[in-house]
Structure 1
Amino acid sequence: MTEESAAPGWLGWLGSLGSSRASRSSRASAALLAASCCCCALLLALAAARRARFLLRLRAVPGPRALPVLGNALQLTGTQEDFFQLLRRCADRFGAVFCLWVGTRPFVFLQSAEAVQPILNSSVHIDKSPDYRFVEAWVGKGLVTSTGERWRARRKLLTPSFHSRVLDQFLQPLHREARVLADKLAAHCGGAPFDIVPYAKLAALDVICGEQHAGERRGAPGSAGERREDTALGKHVAAQRNSNNAYVVAIDRITSIVQRRFITPWLKPDVLFNLSELGRAQRKCVSVIHGFTGRVFAARKEEKRREWEQEQLEAQQRPRGPQVADKPRGAAGGRRALLDLLLDMAHHGANLSDEDIREEVDTFTFAGHDTTAAGLSWCLYVLGKHPEVQERILDEWRSVRSTPGAECEATVGDLSRLEYLERCIKEVLRLYPVVPLIARDIRSPVHLGALGADLPAGCTVLVNAFLLHRDPRFFPEPERFDPDRFLDDSDARRHPFAYVPFSAGSRNCIGQKFAMLELKVLLLTVLERFRVQTAEPNRPLRLVAELVLSNVGGIKISLSKRSS
């Protein structure tokens, strides 16, 4: 056999070898594909089984009939006012617990104390609804939006800052901004009815961000003689005097954007929202807000650094004694803003980064101004229907105040003795809870005695405080305004979860004592100056549940001057 004749044999052998390898590779690929398909089928079967168990458990929860994939979309196509009325109709029809489906996502609404208690009283079910992420661009992972161990650690750290013993530090900015509010409202005295909400928002924002005017300060910054009486930022934004301030405009705009996103299904996905006009507007607002708070933070941190250095120098120069040991850390400067308190905590070892501090200051601004504004607006609306209650509030104020005279400034002691005013505020918040829907994400099954069944993990639960507060078992004639419902003996007999204006349990509102103090001061100042009358008191309200409870067209009142 010649070399030339042998070559085709070798080539044939190599060809058959290649063909064999290709065949084996093809069989391996087919086996791999089959295995992948089996795995996918198994995963799909497991997911389908899990979904079936989830749906089976939810069958115990009544509600309007939902369509596959769409859920209750057809019932939810109306306005926010329509949605609020739908919740009332569903509660009338289905009772204390019912479910609405938004696409494939279930929302379980609770409106009885027995149904609410296992959720709000739990140390496990503390996760807010995923929709709270809509405010994270503004406030980050602050106290409102954080969860788990991060939330527990932050709550423990911040709670002393809102203790009743330190509330007196907020009185000076409160009284100042209350007087500015009354001065602004004087322009409407004797005139046509007007919407009180914008005025209340600006006043609340000034209180939250407030700082004393330079002329009201005593002593040099950081000295023992300085009297700082601040709230959150320690920076006076003068919102009531200049509502066109860029920071004020950005706060108002981003609040509206967040509310719009909460109620608009197609704006909920981040991808669609970020591409929208509202997404672009939000980014501009966040840039303005963070730029402002960042500048305030940097300036105040530098001031605090000099204060700490001065403290350290003074401590080294004076002998140790009981008076030095008893001095609380970070006490220099006396009454301080929340920003100062957080900076001092971080300086003395608390686990707080600069970003953490900014988040908490922004959170306090977000959570504190819109809610207080709504509370004040609803209080004036209700009191405007009851002139005799206004007179009784003022009579009580005259009887308890420690300093006589017109428009004197109440002390914390004075305010604590205003029991009738406090009952009036509580009753207004029963009728018109500032936060009408309290949302929780259920991460593990929870038993609802009111339902007689378990809610599965994966549900979003909403406590409907508006309907909860109208349970005739605990509040007879629930639509009637009656402050005496909150006399001590009545409170003791009531179910502890029948009234939750500041939520309840471990995740209740950390600033509720401050909110009550703020409402008392603002209401007293307005009522001392004016008689309040509700515009069209018999006209039905058109309520909507946004971030706060609102009325379509605003909350309108009229004012008349009160004689000296």
Structure 2
Amino acid sequence: MILILLLFIIVLCLICSWIYLLRDSKSYNIPGPMPWPVIGNGNLFLVDSSEFLRLLSELAHKFGNACRVHILSDRYIILSHPKYIEEIISSTETITKGKSYYFLRPWLGDGLLTSTGQKWKTHRKFLTPAFHYNILHSFLPVFLKNEKVLSEHLKSQADGSLIELFPIMALAALDNITESIMGVSFEAQKDRESKYVKAIDVASQIISTRMRNIFLNSDLLFALTPYKRTQDKALAVLHSHTKEVIEKRWQELKNTNTNKLDENSEIGMKNKHAFLDLLLLAEVDGHGIDIESIKDEVETFMFEGHDTTASGLVYGLYCIAKHPEVQQKILEEQKEILGDDLERDPTFSELQQMKYLECVIKESLRLYPSVPIIQRLITRDVEMSGLQFVKNSSVIINIYHMHRHPDVFEDPLEFRPERFHASNSFKSPFSWVPFSAGPRNCIGQKFAMLELKVTLAALVKRFKILPGEGEPEPCGDLILRSRNGVHVRMLPRI
């Protein structure tokens, strides 16, 4: 009798859950797959990160550029066209990140990527000067120095053998971020077995798995799995590195008796290492920033400032290797700007003149955006761009698919840098958003573009870059990686 009663209650709960999900899915004018009881459409997302991007594209093909899914009882709207995303990412109302960003908090805390409201506005305002146009000039020597270390390492492999790019570029990008905006040097490129880079890979994979897997969404269930212990070990490495960065820079400031910001400086800082110094020395409402907030911001920028750039470098080199005519044009542009002495370093002004290289970078970021998807949370019932959004829905903006959409770009799968010439224009300014857009756009996009320019220009100048074997299988972890790696071959040029 008790067993029958329990079965009846379970069946009743399943029916009620299904009715709720069906009614909820019809409460707004966005199509999508039929949800199942309890799990919604969560079964669709039990895929690995390489299948995840394919799944999102399949949903777009089947249901259109605006598609609705339920993961458990949570609503997600997947958008894949500029006409739908423009109003959302340009609005000051929808600045809160989506629910999936919750899983980043054990790592990044309440930093600029995950925070919202007044804290985000305050931190965004006082951190923006750290990426002022003028301060980028002072980062150039760092980028040039680390590019030479990178080139020296690649020289030993430039014999036509296969080179896996991600581990190498991750270390170069890590050196750039720590030495420039953090103001400390760890010479990561000399440590080929970097525990920090490996820990980022592990943490990224586990967090992105949690974002997709309905069974790992629950903190309780996640804590019972080996994933939790593995994540804890990885985060211990990352937090320890962050602590070391902060302590090292703080000691340097103490040694030079620097205890406040230079009010007469154009950008509010006396020395070039503005970002971490701003955090350590700035005052908000008459008080210094608490140590937890400093840690959160350093964690955030160490991750965002090196992993995304590494992805951009990797796929940029892959595209250049696949298109020798593009590579030759990059080289010719440098010859025109630098003259006969190709071995000398470019100046900041000369880098700004490399317009074709800039087009190449933009086109590679179109096909392979470092951050393939972003999310926003809808905080009230609202109609935007002709779509009805229900409060507490998360909006998934599928940048990867949108950048390959035939309605957005002509011949979208062709690598064509010329489409970014100044004389060309897109149907929407929100057609190309590898750095997002609107009030929550990437604060360091000019920093990233300069680093990409310096590194790619130097590598094309020094090496003939040739295709590797096979095609990469892009996977949507926290950043765009590849399940089977990204490989090229190199031969010395000079």
Shift of residue 57, structure 1, vs aligned partner: 2.0
Aligned to 2:53: 84
Question: Are positions 1:459 and 2:393 aligned together?
Answer: yes
Q: Percentage identity across aligned positions?
A: 36
Shift of residue 421, structure 1, vs aligned partner: 0.5
Q: Aligned partners of 2:284 and 2:122: how far apart in 1?
A: 17
- Alignment check: 8 A CA contact 1:54 1:456 kept: no
The alpha-carbon distance between structure 1 residues 405 and 274, as it changes in their structure 2 partners (threshold 3 A), is farther
Q: Aligned partners of 1:417 and 1:348: how far apart in 2?
A: 42
Q: Aligned partners of 1:434 and 1:476: how far apart in 2?
A: 21
What is the aligned counterpart of 1:426 among 333, 348, 362? 362
- Alignment check: 8 A CA contact 1:346 1:353 kept: no
Matches within 5 A, 1:280-299: 280-299=229-248
The alpha-carbon distance between structure 1 residues 96 and 184, as it changes in their structure 2 partners (threshold 3 A), is same
Amino acid at match of 2:241: F
What is the aligned counterpart of 1:486 among 395, 404, 420? 420
Aligned to 1:270: 219
Aligned to 2:81: 112
SS in 2 for 1:106: strand
Matches within 5 A, 1:512-523: 512-523=445-456
Q: Aligned partners of 1:297 and 1:399: how far apart in 2?
A: 43
Amino acid at match of 1:468: M
The unaligned stretches of length 5 or more in structure 2 are: 1-16
What is the aligned counterpart of 1:362 among 291, 299, 306? 299
Shift of residue 254, structure 1, vs aligned partner: 2.8
Question: Are positions 1:438 and 2:374 aligned together?
Answer: yes
Shift of residue 99, structure 1, vs aligned partner: 1.5
Question: Are positions 1:236 and 2:185 aligned together?
Answer: yes
Q: Aligned partners of 2:209 and 2:184: how far apart in 1?
A: 29
Shift of residue 124, structure 1, vs aligned partner: 0.7
TM-score (normalised: structure 1): 0.78
Q: Aligned partners of 1:171 and 1:202: how far apart in 2?
A: 18
Deviations 1:33-80 (A, max 9, x none): xxxxxxxxxxxxxx999988744423x211122222222244333433
What is the aligned counterpart of 1:57 among 27, 41, 51? 27
Q: Aligned partners of 2:305 and 2:239: how far apart in 1?
A: 17
Shifted more, 406-415 versus 257-266: the winner is 257-266
Shift of residue 509, structure 1, vs aligned partner: 0.4
- Alignment check: 8 A CA contact 2:30 2:388 kept: no
Deviations 1:493-539 (A, max 9, x none): 43011111111110000000001001001101211111111224xx5
SS in 2 for 1:183: helix
The alpha-carbon distance between structure 1 residues 75 and 329, as it changes in their structure 2 partners (threshold 3 A), is closer
Amino acid at match of 1:423: C
SS in 1 for 2:175: helix
Q: Aligned partners of 2:389 and 2:475: how far apart in 1?
A: 27
Shift of residue 256, structure 1, vs aligned partner: 3.5
Shift of residue 330, structure 1, vs aligned partner: 6.6
CA RMSD between the two structures: 2.7
Question: Are positions 1:335 and 2:275 aligned together?
Answer: no
Q: Aligned partners of 2:377 and 2:456: how far apart in 1?
A: 36
Aligned to 1:395: 332
The unaligned stretches of length 5 or more in structure 1 are: 1-46, 211-229, 313-323
Query: Which has the larger Rg?
Result: 1
Q: Aligned partners of 1:52 and 1:274: how far apart in 2?
A: 31
- Alignment check: 8 A CA contact 2:45 2:212 kept: no
SS in 1 for 2:307: helix
Deviations 1:341-370 (A, max 9, x none): 322324995652222222211111011111
Shift of residue 156, structure 1, vs aligned partner: 0.8
Amino acid at match of 2:315: W
Aligned to 1:160: 129
Aligned to 1:383: 320
Q: Aligned partners of 1:542 and 1:293: how far apart in 2?
A: 32
Amino acid at match of 2:311: A
Amino acid at match of 2:228: G
Q: Aligned partners of 1:309 and 1:460: how far apart in 2?
A: 44
What is the aligned counterpart of 1:532 among 462, 465, 468? 465
Q: Aligned partners of 1:48 and 1:279: how far apart in 2?
A: 31
Deviations 1:373-405 (A, max 9, x none): 11111111111111111111111122223x863
Shift of residue 436, structure 1, vs aligned partner: 1.0
- Alignment check: 8 A CA contact 1:239 1:248 kept: no
Amino acid at match of 1:413: S
- Alignment check: 8 A CA contact 1:168 1:411 kept: no
Shift of residue 176, structure 1, vs aligned partner: 1.5
The alpha-carbon distance between structure 1 residues 456 and 344, as it changes in their structure 2 partners (threshold 3 A), is same
Question: Are positions 1:416 and 2:352 aligned together?
Answer: yes
Question: Are positions 1:103 and 2:40 aligned together?
Answer: no
Equivalent pairs counted in the alignment come to 478
Question: Are positions 1:373 and 2:307 aligned together?
Answer: no
SS in 2 for 1:57: coil
The alpha-carbon distance between structure 1 residues 97 and 348, as it changes in their structure 2 partners (threshold 3 A), is closer
SS in 2 for 1:235: coil
The alpha-carbon distance between structure 1 residues 252 and 236, as it changes in their structure 2 partners (threshold 3 A), is farther
- Alignment check: 8 A CA contact 1:263 1:546 kept: no
Q: Aligned partners of 2:310 and 2:258: how far apart in 1?
A: 40
SS in 2 for 1:380: helix
The alpha-carbon distance between structure 1 residues 553 and 459, as it changes in their structure 2 partners (threshold 3 A), is same
SS in 2 for 1:100: strand
